[in-house]
C-alpha cells in the first residue's frame, strides 16, 4: 500500500511538472486564470517538495534547451555528457548531467547566469512572496524532513531505496526526460537536434518522452504523434480541464 502511495506521489508530481511547469509555464500552450495558476503553483510546490523547481527559472532554462537543442549551448543535452554513442555510460554521465543542470538552475534562480536575463518579454508564472519561501532552505529542509518522517513511519525494508527518488523527484524526472528523450528511441521528424520518441516510457511519463514530436511542434498541447500508438495521456486531461473551464486553448 505504501509503495502505491509513493508511486502515486511520483506520478502526481510528474503530472504537475509536465502540465504546469512545461506545457503552461514555459510553452504557453493554454491559458488559465490567476486563481488556477496559483492553485497549480502551490500544488507543484506541495508535490515536488524538497526538489521544487522555480517556474520562471525552469521556463528560461527550458527555452534555452529548445533554442540550442543538443548543441554545446544546450543546458542539459546528454550528448554533452556521454562518451558512448548509445548512451551506455548513463549511470555516470546522467548523474553528471543532473549535477551540472542543478548547478546551472541555481545560478539562473540567483540571477548570476546570463540565461536569467533572457526572455524578458515573455510572461512566466510568478508569485514573489510564495516563491521566496518555496525556494528557501527552510522549505527544502522542511519538506525533505517531512518525507523522511513519512518513510520512518511507513516504510519497511526495501522501500527505503525509493526515498532518494522522492526527495529529488523534480530533478530525477527532468533527467529521465532529457536523457532518454534525446538519446534513446526513434524519430518521426528529421530535426537538427537528437530528439527521440522513447515510446516504451512515454505513456507512463505523461507523454513527456515524445520529445521528437514535441521539438517539432513545441506549441502543441498534444505530444502524441502521427502513429496510432503514440498516445499522450496528458492530452485528454487537458481536454477535460478545458471542458470544465480550468484552462483554455489559445487557438
Ligand atoms: Zn527536449
Ligand atoms: Zn519543451
**84 found inside a domain:** yes
Distance 155 CA to ligand 2 centre (A): 35
Ligand 1 centroid–CA 65 distance in Å is 7
Give the pLDDT confidence score for residue 73 in this predicted structure: 96
Cα(95) to centroid of ligand 1, in Å?
Answer: 18
Distance 64 CA to ligand 2 centre (A): 10
Ligand showing the shortest atom-to-Cα distance for residue 17:
2
What is the residue whose three cell numbers read 518513510?
A: 151
In angstroms, what is the C-alpha Rg of the chain? 18
In a domain, 210, yes or no: no
- Burial-class residue 25 by CB neighbours within 10 Å (0-12, 13-18, 19+): buried
Q: Is 199 part of a structural domain of the chain?
A: no
Tell me which ligand sits closest to the C-alpha of residue 177. 1
Angstrom CA distances, 149 to 50, 62, 184, 206, 209, stand at: 13, 33, 37, 29, 32
Q: Tell me the C-alpha distance between 52 and 65, whole Å.
A: 19
Determine the distance separating the centroid of ligand 2 and the alpha carbon of 218, expressed in angstroms. Answer: 6
Whether residue 127 is contained in a domain is answered as: yes
Distance 66 CA to ligand 1 centre (A): 6
Q: Contact 149/141 with Cβ under 8 angstroms?
A: no
Q: What is the pLDDT along the chain (251 residues), one digit of tens a residue?
A: 899 999 999 999 999 999 999 999 999 999 999 999 999 999 999 999 999 999 999 999 999 999 999 999 999 999 999 999 898 999 999 999 999 999 999 999 999 999 989 998 899 999 999 999 999 999 999 999 999 999 999 998 899 999 999 999 999 999 999 999 999 999 999 999 999 999 988 888 999 999 999 999 999 999 998 999 999 999 999 999 999 999 999 76
Integer Cα distance of 210 and 188 in angstroms: 10
What pLDDT shows up at residue 221?
96
Q: 48, 77, 81, 55: which is closest to 64 by C-alpha?
A: 77
Nearest bound ligand to CA 25?
2
42: left (phi over 0), alpha (psi -120 to 50) or beta: alpha
Question: How much distance in Å is there from the Cα of 112 to the middle of ligand 2?
Answer: 23
Question: What is the CB neighbour count within 10 angstroms for residue 103?
Answer: 10
Q: Among the bound ligands, name the one nearest to the CA of residue 197.
A: 1
So what's the pLDDT on residue 251? 67
Contact 135, 52 (CB under 8 A): yes
- C-alpha 60/C-alpha 63 separation (Å) is 5
The answer to whether residue 198 is domain-embedded is no
The count of structural domains within the chain is 1
> Is 159 within 8 Å of 136 (Cβ atoms)?
no
Q: What is this structure's pTM?
A: 0.95
Instruction: Please state, in angstroms and rounded to a whole number, the distance separating the CA atoms of residues 29 and 186.
Output: 25
The answer to whether the CB of 104 falls within 8 A of the CB of 65 is: no
Ligand nearest to the CA of 193: 1
pLDDT at position 8 is 95
> Does 239 map to a domain?
no
**Nearest-angstrom CA–CA distance, 228 and 222:** 13
Residue 225: Cβ within 10 Å count: 21
Place of cell 521539438: 215
Q: How far is the centre of ligand 2, averaged over its atoms, from the C-alpha of 180 (Å)?
A: 14
Q: What is the pLDDT of residue 250?
A: 78
Q: How far is the CA of 48 from the centre of ligand 1 (A)?
A: 21
Q: Is the residue at 233 inside a domain?
A: no
Give the ligand at the shortest distance from the Cα of 191. 1
Within a domain: residue 68?
Answer: yes
What pLDDT, on a 0 to 100 scale, did the predictor assign at position 194? 96
Q: How far apart are CA 236 and CA 100, in angstroms?
A: 35
Q: How far is the CA of 209 from the centre of ligand 1 (A)?
A: 9
**Host domain of residue 104:** 2-187
Element (H, E) at 188: none
Amino acid at each position: 500500500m505504501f509503495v502505491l502511495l509513493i508511486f502515486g506521489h511520483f506520478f502526481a508530481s510528474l503530472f504537475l511538472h509536465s502540465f504546469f511547469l512545461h506545457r503552461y509555464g514555459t510553452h504557453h500552450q493554454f491559458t488559465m486564470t490567476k486563481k488556477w495558476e496559483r492553485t497549480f503553483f502551490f500544488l507543484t510546490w506541495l508535490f515536488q517538495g524538497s526538489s521544487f523547481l522555480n517556474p520562471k527559472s525552469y521556463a528560461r532554462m527550458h527555452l534555452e534547451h529548445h533554442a540550442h537543442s543538443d548543441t554545446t549551448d544546450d543546458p542539459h543535452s546528454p550528448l554533452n555528457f556521454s562518451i558512448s554513442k548509445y548512451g551506455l555510460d548513463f549511470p555516470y554521465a546522467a548523474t553528471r548531467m543532473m549535477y551540472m543542470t542543478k548547478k546551472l538552475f541555481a545560478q539562473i534562480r540567483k540571477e548570476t547566469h546570463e540565461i536569467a536575463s533572457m526572455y524578458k518579454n515573455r510572461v512566466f508564472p510568478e508569485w514573489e512572496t510564495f516563491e521566496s519561501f518555496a525556494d528557501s532552505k527552510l522549505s527544502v529542509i522542511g519538506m525533505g524532513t517531512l518525507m523522511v518522517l513519512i518513510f520512518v513511519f511507513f516504510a519497511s525494508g526495501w522501500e527505503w531505496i525509493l526515498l532518494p527518488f522522492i526527495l529529488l523527484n523534480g530533478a530525477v524526472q527532468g533527467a529521465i526526460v532529457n536523457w532518454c528523450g534525446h538519446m534513446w528511441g526513434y524519430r518521426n521528424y528529421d530535426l537538427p537536434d537528437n530528439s527521440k520518441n522513447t515510446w516504451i516510457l512515454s505513456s507512463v511519463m505523461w507523454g513527456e518522452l515524445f520529445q521528437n514530436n514535441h521539438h517539432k511542434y513545441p506549441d502543441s498541447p498534444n505530444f502524441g504523434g502521427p502513429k496510432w500508438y503514440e498516445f499522450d495521456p496528458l492530452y485528454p486531461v487537458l481536454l477535460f480541464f478545458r471542458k470544465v473551464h480550468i484552462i483554455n486553448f489559445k487557438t
